[in-house]
Structures are given as structure tokens and as C-alpha cells.
Amino acid sequence: MPANQITDSYRHQGMRRKLVESLRQKGIVDETVLAALNHVPRHFFFDSSFLEFAYEDKAFPIGSGQTISQPYTVAFQTQLLNPGRGMKILEIGTGSGYQACILAVMGLKVYTIERQKLLFDKTKALLKELNYRVNTYFGDGYLGLKAHAPFDRILITAAAPGIPEALINQLKPGGIMVIPVGAGDIQVMKRIIKISDNETTSETHGTFRFVPMLGEKARDI
């Protein structure tokens, strides 16, 4: 990464404040979420040739056929999670690492899984360089991360055709999972609350577009 990209200039900070203000206008109300988005320089997660796109409220390609989620979507999912400091969270779909860093600066213990090796290697190196405390794992998110379960929160950042049973099992009673569900172009945002070991409730919160969650047999692009 070129040295200039790692600096967070006044110009970048100004653009970021405007972006955060626009998210507030769009209905994000959780101040801790807005503060986290204001804190993490999104341009650090872009290739240098695309830096000018970092503070638009849009998803953007990050290589390997994947995207960094739209800031509104990151804020919306994080707000739905209602996270608290010190909680243990599992993210499925590390991608650029941006969402994981938002959770880390909010004081969560973040475990994140990425299925594509090239992207995993690139993001792991970036997070180390930027000094964010995020635990990265290469693997299949459908299986979760049994060794570190149970989790207070689980966040899925790719489109899931259904609710993976293994992930529900790895959620603590009282825990919350946020997951975009739908096999087609559009997904419904679901918030699942695990009331007890064998009881869950679910709410829906609008529609979104995500790249698909890859199954066990899917190959890296």
C-alpha cells in the first residue's frame, strides 16, 4: 500500500463527516455506530486508484468478485446488532475488513471468516498493518467457528439462502444474529433473537442487495 493512502488527511476527515451526516439523514440514529463510522478511514480499505469513491454511500468492488458494503448497509446492520463493549462477535464475510474494524473500534471482540483465500490473505495483512484488533479466519462461514463459540452476536455480510443451523447453535441464549436472507437478487434483512437454546424469534427490516454466500462446494473465483 502506498504511504499516502495510509494517511488520514483533513480532506478525508471532512468527506467522512459529510458521509456520516448523510447516514444520519437516512435514518441511522445510534450515535455509537455513527461515531465508529466517523472514526475508521474507509479509504484505507480501497486500492489507491479508487480512493475518490471511498466516501460515497455506495458499495464498491474490492477484487475477487467481491464488494465492500455500502456505508449505509454497514451502519444499518451494526445498529440492528445493538452491540455492547466487550461482546464477542462472529462476522461471516470479512471482505475488505471494513465492517470488522467498525466493530473492533466499538469495543467488540471480533472473529471474522472469509472464504476466498486471496482476499483473506490481502485483508489479514492490511488489518495487521493498520493495527486493528480483529481475529481473521480462512474458512467456510456456514460452519461458523466452533472453537470460539458461543457468540453474543453473529453478523452475516453475504446473501444467505436460509438461516444456517450451525450459526444459530453458536449463538448464546439472549444473543442476536443479523442476516440478509434470499437466494435471488434481493435479500430481506432479518434480525434473529435467540431467546433460549431451542427458541428464536425473528424480525424483518427491509430489503438489501448482497453478493451471495458461497457454499461448501463453491470454488474461489
Q: Is 9 buried (19+), middle (13-18) or exposed (0-12) by CB count in 10 A? A: exposed
Active site residue 64: no
- Shortest CB 73 distance to ligand SAH, Å: 9
Name the segment binding ligand SAH (CB under 6 A); options: 47-55, 135-143, 146-154, 190-198. 135-143
Residue placing its CB nearer to ligand SAH in the complex, 77 or 196: 77
Residue placing its CB nearer to ligand SAH in the complex, 128 or 173: 128
Determine, following the binding rule CB under 6 A, whether residue 113 of this chain makes contact with ligand SAH: yes
Residue placing its CB nearer to ligand SAH in the complex, 199 or 216: 216
Determine, following the binding rule CB under 6 A, whether residue 208 of this chain makes contact with ligand SAH: no
Contact map string, positions 12 to 51, toward ligand SAH, x by CB under 6 A: ----------------------------------------
In sequence order, the 6+-apart residues with CB closer than 8 A to the CB of 204 are 188, 189, 190, 191
Binding residue for ligand SAH, selected from 19, 23, 90, 92, defined by CB under 6 A: 92
User: Do the strands 66-68 and 88-92 form a parallel or antiparallel pair, or are they unpaired?
Assistant: unpaired
Total residues binding ligand SAH (CB under 6 A): 23
Closest CA to 72 of 122, 28, 109: 28
Q: Residues in the site for ligand SAH, rule: CB under 6 A?
A: 66-69, 92-93, 95-96, 98-99, 113-116, 119, 140-142, 157-158, 211, 213-214
Q: Give the residue numbers annotated as catalytic, written as ranges.
A: 69
